[in-house]
Amino acid sequence: MNKILIVGGGAAGMMAAIIAAREGASVLLVEKNEKLGKKLFITGKGRCNVTNACERAELFNNVTSNGRFLYSAFESFDNAALMHFFEDLGLKLKIERGKRVFPESDKSSDVIKALKEEIERLKIEVRLNTTVKGFEFKENICLVTLENNSSKTAVEKCDSLIIATGGISYASTGSTGDGYRFAKQAGHSVTPLVPSLVGIETEEDFPEKLQGLSLKNVTLTLENEKGKKIYSELGEMLFTHYGISGPLVLSASSLIADAMAKKKNVGKMWLDLKPGMNIDELNARLLKDFSGELNKAFRNSLDSLLPQSMIPVIVELSGIAPDKKVNSITKEERQKLVELLKHLEITFSGLRDFNEAIITKGGVSVKEVNPKTMESKLCEGLYFAGEVLDLDAMTGGFNLQIAWSTGYAAGYAAAHKEGR
């Protein structure tokens, strides 16, 4: 019987443990925190967006780093398989807007509970409050040095070691970059690490004036440094004291992080505040609103078009005098206002740090990992799963699917590993 030691009790680690045990392996799951699934608990604002119910082709379209590496993993265990997996564990799921899949209860704790109960049913040994101090592959065995919270150390022998320690985002959940250190110890390369799925800081100060304002049904567009449109989505966003955030922004940040990791300049970014109307339709709407009360001051004429808190900002940015009567506004001024509403430019100045990032972009180079088994090409018997790898995706359940699929692949392959 193969003995497998798994470092990290998050989504990838728990999946790897369950699959390996189901395949007949003896499994020891080591977690540095006081409980399993600490980061999983806070995902999806505590609701846990476990996956996305889209077609498999769309899964790949939403992977922003090294999508081709995931062909085998998704083939073996895709989103449909994941949903069946949880339903078989008794967890009821539901599909919401954007095909995002959540537990019916809206409680991430129920996802963790289902996984923990299966871990207990399979009699998988779990050691909490335990860290890995180091490991060594010697002949046909791996020696792993563990330390508990009383500073007592022990050496465990195993046939295979799976590293599923996560990245360095949300360090309070235990994601402190241990896996990168272990990977380097084994001779692996780690690509540049950048915070991703995170708020965007802006050069303009108007977002701070709009702090707390959430906009629905707006379009955020992003161009790369060559002027090519690389992102344009309709959805929801939020103004903050540092710039912008919300679902649209988090997804756009993934592409910005990608450019930063590749040391490329970030291109232009803008908001279409009225995506339901083209320029001519919006111009006609303004003319209609203005004709209603020709003697009204400009600053009082946009009540039906914009949220109240946004009107002073748009008035200022338009360059039209706030007290100017609408019957005196020129065609050129109105056209400039239309352009502003359809193309509110926002200048990127930075990303928020890892403490606020949902995921880490970058990680263990996938060129050095077998895409079918997640086994290291440099160190036989060593496997990687989840966020520690240089794999990431847009928001919507795609990053968790990467964790589930790579965890499944590593657990299955390690369980079936022939003696070395």
Q: Judge contact between 319 and 335, C-beta under 8 A.
A: no
Arithmetic mean of pLDDT over the chain: 93
Domains of the chain as residue ranges with CATH: 3-194+360-415 (3.50.50.60), 199-352 (1.10.8.50)
Rounded to an integer, what distance in angstroms lies between the CA atom of residue 330 and that of residue 144? Answer: 75
Closest CA to 37 of 132, 122, 117: 117
Q: Is the dihedral of CA 242, 247, 252, 254 positive or negative?
A: positive
Rounded to an integer, what distance in angstroms lies between the CA atom of residue 219 and that of residue 32? Answer: 41
Rounded to an integer, what distance in angstroms lies between the CA atom of residue 181 and that of residue 165? Answer: 11
pLDDT tens by residue, 148-206: 988 889 999 999 999 999 999 867 766 778 999 999 999 999 999 999 999 999 999 99
Q: What are the residues whose beta carbons fall under 8 Å from the beta carbon of 348, sequence distance 6 or more?
A: 200, 201, 202, 203, 256, 266, 269
pLDDT tens by residue, 2-30: 999 999 999 999 999 999 999 999 999 99
Closest CA to 313 of 287, 278, 280, 340: 340
pLDDT at res. 419: 61
Rounded to an integer, what distance in angstroms lies between the CA atom of residue 166 and that of residue 240? Answer: 28
Query: SS3 of 113, please?
Result: helix
Q: Is the dihedral of CA 14, 100, 177, 77 positive or negative?
A: positive
Rounded to an integer, what distance in angstroms lies between the CA atom of residue 47 and that of residue 103? Answer: 7
Rounded to an integer, what distance in angstroms lies between the CA atom of residue 401 and that of residue 420? Answer: 31
Rounded to an integer, what distance in angstroms lies between the CA atom of residue 191 and that of residue 362? Answer: 5
Q: Judge contact between 180 and 190, C-beta under 8 A.
A: yes
The DSSP secondary structure of 338-393, one letter per residue, reads HHHHH-EEE-EEEE--TTT-SEEE--B-GGGB-TTT-BBSSSTTEEE-GGGBS-EE
E strand or H helix at 196: strand 194-196
Count the alpha carbons within 13 Å of 420 in the hemisphere toward its beta carbon.
Answer: 17
Q: What are the residues whose beta carbons fall under 8 Å from the beta carbon of 153, sequence distance 6 or more?
A: 133, 145, 146, 147
pLDDT tens by residue, 88-139: 999 999 999 889 999 999 999 999 999 999 999 999 999 999 999 999 998 8
pLDDT category at 225 given cuts 50, 70, 90 is: confident
Residue type, 288: K
Strand partners, 146: 132, 154
Radius of gyration of the chain (CA): 25
pLDDT tens by residue, 243-282: 999 989 999 998 888 888 777 888 899 999 999 999 999 9
pLDDT tens by residue, 300-317: 999 999 999 999 999 999
pLDDT at res. 59: 94
Rounded to an integer, what distance in angstroms lies between the CA atom of residue 10 and that of residue 126? Answer: 12
Rounded to an integer, what distance in angstroms lies between the CA atom of residue 11 and that of residue 16? Answer: 9
pLDDT category at 402 given cuts 50, 70, 90 is: very high
E strand or H helix at 261: helix 247-261
